[in-house]
Amino acid sequence: MIDVVSIITHYLKEEIINIRSVGGGCIAQSGIITTESGSNYFLKQGYSNGMFYCESNGLREIAKAKCIQVPEVILVGESFLLLSVISQGAKINNTMEDFGRKLANMHQFTSDRYGFFEDNFIGSSKQINTYSTSWSDFYFINRLLFQYKLVEQNGKVTEELKDLFLKLENRIKEILEGSEDIASLLHGDLWGGNYMIDTSGDVVLIDPAVYYGNREADLVMTKLFGGFTTDFYDSYSKEYPLTPGYKYRENIYLLYHVMNHYNLFGNSYYGQMIDLMKFYV
């Protein structure tokens, strides 16, 4: 068994005097460690499947854009991730407006193709990031089809789902027609639980599932559990206006996350998944 405390102690060159568990993580076990000098660090443990390497690479990729804060990666191993501590604060008047503007700037940090140099995770599910120069091909094969195959593996495909998915496959290029041909840096899992507010009232992004994709996918994810504030969306649109047809394409991006939730959490997501498919077919 890996002695994480010894590895971190050796790296920091000082003793750890306290580890305090903190809640809020849906997947990993989290805690604040304090060293003999009084320094604090955020420690995540609980998985040894490469998830923490992926998370660290995602945080570093977002940091490259120099648009929005992320925790600093201090040290990463197969079964742990050590980050700087973000002292939690509260929203101020312009927090969400500033968030929208910074996300729009991040989405202007681009690549010449869709995908990422490694596969990573969306929640605890594998997320495939094989490079492609076609957004519709990338999105269908690596997002929708991959989730559909997981549904098959889980023995949860119904005749209704099979029929709708085949029809959707035949229409995917038409559905995504008109979306801009730009591969933007995406957080990948941007819901309300994956950002924090620091003591200055600024947003800090956490728990990314980074890849380069169409920015509409990031914005739609913000709406999965009720959405962000009007100030956020207005500020984003002012900074980086969306292309025509965005509203029509929203449901195709929601579908990926709902299919993932169906695979992870079960039948309560079945009806929503079917309704999203029926919107197009």
Active site residues: 189
Would you give the DSSP letter of residue 250? H
β-strand partners of 186: 211
Distance, in Å, from the CA atom of 44 to the CA atom of 61, rounded to the nearest integer, reads 19
Which residue in this structure is represented by tokens 């999105």?
A: 139
Answer yes or no: are the C-beta atoms of 33 and 43 closer than 8 Å: yes
Distance, in Å, from the CA atom of 54 to the CA atom of 27, rounded to the nearest integer, reads 14
Tell me how crowded residue 258 is: count the other CB atoms within 10 A of its CB.
21
Distance, in Å, from the CA atom of 89 to the CA atom of 13, rounded to the nearest integer, reads 30
Q: Whose CA is closest to 165, among 249, 255, 245, 266?
A: 255
Which residues contact residue 115 at a Cβ distance below 8 angstroms, ignoring those fewer than 6 apart?
129, 130, 131, 132, 138, 142, 183, 211, 212, 213
Distance, in Å, from the CA atom of 218 to the CA atom of 222, rounded to the nearest integer, reads 7
Instruction: Pull the structure tokens for residue 96.
Output: 């969400």
